[in-house]
Chains A and B, each alone.
Chain A
Amino acid sequence: NAGVTQTPKFRVLKTGQSMTLLCAQDMNHEYMYWYRQDPGMGLRLIHYSVGEGTTAKGEVPDGYNVSRLKKQNFLLGLESAAPSQTSVYFCASSYGVGRVETQYFGPGTRLLVL
């Protein structure tokens, strides 16, 4: 039981390049989330999904797109990377809605945009 895994662990991009971050969970969770963590800003929700085929915007969605084609996977895409997107990205999943359902986090992806 791997829990929540993220690929890749670290990536360096040039401004304007695109990439996709992959999140996978094997806990059969309905809800999945993408956060970014920046110094002094804490964790901020980018997008989330309440089930296969659904996505919704979080607090800071601009510049990102997501897809949830399979229940166990949640992809985060950067179409044209910008230096402001340098951050650590965390994926999380939960069985149900966030108020009283524990979110379980992946190990993170460190992204540097030059």
Chain B
Amino acid sequence: SQELEQSPQSLIVQEGKNLTINCTSSKTLYGLYWYKQKYGEGLIFLMMLQKGGEEKSHEKITAKLDEKKQQSSLHITASQPSHAGIYLCGAGLVGSQGNLIFGKGTKLSVKP
């Protein structure tokens, strides 16, 4: 079973609209990572959250980790075509050997 669930699987938004991507686990998360991947390219690190309730922002992207450290959300404000790509969350889980588990990704398309 997938230990890290991402939703939605895909998303199409009009340029300028806001959107949210979720990453959920049934287990407590350690460092929660958000990456962005463009087609044919590697994963670009966006940000990492470690503490319950933590929130970080980079330009128009904000990521939050809930107090229970089992869910994270990635919010994009006023989306632009440059935001298009696949967003993946990765996390260390309680009971794991320290390696990261990744969600299956959310494919974001932004219509100009």
On A, residues with C-beta under 8 Å from B are 4, 33, 35, 40-45, 48, 58, 90, 92, 97-108, 110
Residues of B close to A110: CB separation below 8 A: 40
Q: Which residues of B contact A (CB under 8 A)?
A: 2, 30-31, 33, 35, 40-45, 48, 50, 88, 90, 92, 96, 98-100, 102-105
- From the candidates A33, A99, A108, name the one contacting B31 in the complex (CB within 8 A): A99
Instruction: List 23 A–B pairs whose Cβ atoms lie within 8 Å, in order of A's numbering.
Output: A4-B42, A42-B88, A42-B104, A43-B90, A43-B102, A44-B102, A48-B99, A90-B42, A90-B43, A98-B98, A98-B100, A99-B92, A99-B98, A99-B100, A100-B31, A103-B33, A103-B45, A105-B35, A105-B42, A105-B44, A106-B42, A108-B40, A108-B41
Across the interface, do A101 and B102 meet the contact criterion of CB distance under 8 Å? no
Interface centre among A44, A90, A105 (most CB of B within 10 A): A105
Separation of A35 and B100 alpha carbons in the complex (Å): 11
Which has the most chain A C-beta neighbours within 10 Å: B2, B40, B45, B98? B98
Residues of A within 8 A of B42 (CB): 4, 90, 105-108
Q: A42-B88, A90-B43 are in contact. List 11 more A-B contacts (CB 8 A).
A: A35-B102, A42-B2, A45-B100, A97-B98, A99-B30, A99-B31, A100-B30, A103-B45, A103-B90, A103-B100, A105-B44
Query: Which residue from A35, A40, A43, A100 sits with its C-beta under 8 Å from B50?
Result: A100
A40 CB contacts on chain B under 8 angstroms: 104
Closest residue of chain B to A40 (Cβ to Cβ) is: B104
- State how many angstroms separate the Cβ of B43 from the closest Cβ of chain A: 4
> A5: nearest residue on chain B (CB-CB)?
B42
Contacts of B35 in A (CB 8 A): 105
